[in-house]
């Protein structure tokens, strides 16, 4: 599982930039969608989807850093943990926070994540030096992803409406698994001795775009949000990210060779 021999993952973009991008981009996207949906119209809800993609990139980056030490449990578990903490913190933050809901959710997620990090290192003795910081980041990004995708679906993060239109309808399960996969899959798919930060990030953005498209599909049946723009922008981002990923795969491959088609029956005889 370990890729860097316990030294941590090599990075081209510094982690501080990604943390800032994740928090600021995520919250700006969510709040912009919240206010602009009221001011301009339901189709502005796509901004929250972009915020969720910022959170996904950040979460995938944190998973990449912590998993490069080798957790012994597989990468998926940490993605599920992120969304599990994010879910609890989001519901709490939105319930008590009102307009400050997303910020309170992010802070509560950071607190639980930090405590889980401390427990994992001190009590369980997992021995990953960056565990506390990474768990805080991963849990916080989980909260941003959940709020971002919910807001993209219904155009608001008002708790009463989230409960009625996202949770009681069961779309929260879609958010949970689409967001969780977007965080855990990029590193899980690219891991190995030749893992590169830009290729992992291209996968993360591509997975984020799929989550955004899903949110758009749900938004298209909601009156308070419009799905068309979310789906179109999601498809565009997906196309760009997937082309980039394919390009990077070809760059990092030792050799690409065509195997041709399977031989026909006559050729085999």
Partner 1 sequence: MIDIAGILTANILNIVLITLGGALISLAVHFVPVGGAPAAMAQATGVGTGTVQLAAGAGLTGLVTAGAMMNVTDSMLLVLASGAVGAMIMISVTMIVGQWVYVYGVGCPPVSAKVKYDPITKDRQDLYVSQGTEGHGIPTVSFVSGVIGGALGGIGGGLVYYSLLIIENVAPTTEIVGIAAIFAIGIFFVNSVIPSYNIGGTIEGFHDPKFRRVPKAILSSLVVTFLTAIMGVLAIGGL
Question: What residues line the site for partner 1 (CB under 8 A)?
Answer: 71-74, 76-78, 80-81, 83-89, 91-92, 94-96, 108, 111-112, 115-116, 119-120, 123-126, 163-164, 167-170, 172-173, 176
Q: Distances in Å between the alpha carbon of 219 and those of 109, 124, 165, 228, 242? A: 26, 42, 10, 8, 24
Q: How far is CA 116 from the centre of its chain?
A: 20
Residue in this structure with the two tokens 């912009």, named with its chain if needed: 32
Nearer to partner 1, 9 or 66 (CB): 66
Nearest-approach distance from CB 212 to partner 1, in angstroms: 21
Nearer to partner 1 (CB atom), residue 184 or residue 209: 184
Q: In terms of Cα–Cα distance, which of 210, 212, 196, 211 is closest to 247?
A: 196
Please, what is the Cα angle at 124 between 120 and 126, to 5 degrees?
Answer: 65
**Cα separations (Å) of 211 from 91, 131, 206, 229?**
20, 27, 9, 14
Q: Which is nearer to partner 1, 90 or 230 (CB)?
A: 90
In the complex, least distance from residue 240 CB atom to partner 1, rounded to whole angstroms: 32
Q: For partner 1, which is the closer residue by CB, 41 or 72?
A: 72
As measured in angstroms, the least distance from the Cβ of 126 to partner 1 is 5
**Does residue 170 sit in helix, strand or coil?**
coil
User: Could you tell me the smallest distance in angstroms from the CB atom of residue 8 to partner 1?
Assistant: 18
């Amino acid at each position: 599982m370990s890729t860097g021999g316990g030294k941590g993952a090599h990075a081209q973009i510094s982690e501080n930039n990604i943390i800032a991008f994740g928090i600021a981009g995520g919250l700006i996207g969510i709040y912009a969608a919240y206010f602009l949906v009221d001011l301009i119209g339901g189709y502005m809800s796509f901004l929250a989807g972009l915020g969720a993609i910022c959170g996904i990139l950040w979460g995938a980056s944190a998973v990449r850093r912590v998993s490069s030490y080798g957790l012994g449990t597989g990468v998926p578990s940490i993605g599920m943990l992120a969304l599990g903490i994010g879910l609890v913190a989001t519901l709490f933050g939105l319930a008590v926070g009102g307009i400050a809901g997303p910020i309170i959710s992010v802070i509560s997620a950071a607190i639980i994540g930090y405590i889980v990090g401390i427990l994992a290192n001190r009590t369980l003795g997992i021995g990953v030096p960056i565990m506390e910081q990474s768990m805080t980041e991963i849990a916080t990004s989980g909260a941003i992803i959940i709020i971002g995708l919910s807001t993209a679906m219904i155009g608001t993060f008002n708790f009463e409406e989230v409960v009625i239109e996202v949770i009681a309808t069961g779309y929260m399960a879609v958010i949970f698994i689409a967001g969780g996969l977007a965080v855990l899959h990029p590193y899980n798919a690219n891991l190995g001795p030749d893992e590169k930060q830009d290729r992992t990030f291209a996968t993360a953005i591509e997975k984020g775009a799929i989550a955004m498209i899903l949110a758009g599909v749900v938004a298209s049946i909601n009156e308070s949000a419009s799905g068309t723009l979310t789906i179109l922008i999601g498809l565009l981002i997906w196309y760009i990210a997937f082309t980039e990923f394919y390009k990077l795969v070809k760059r990092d491959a030792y050799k690409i060779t065509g195997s041709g088609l399977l031989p026909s029956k006559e050729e085999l005889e």
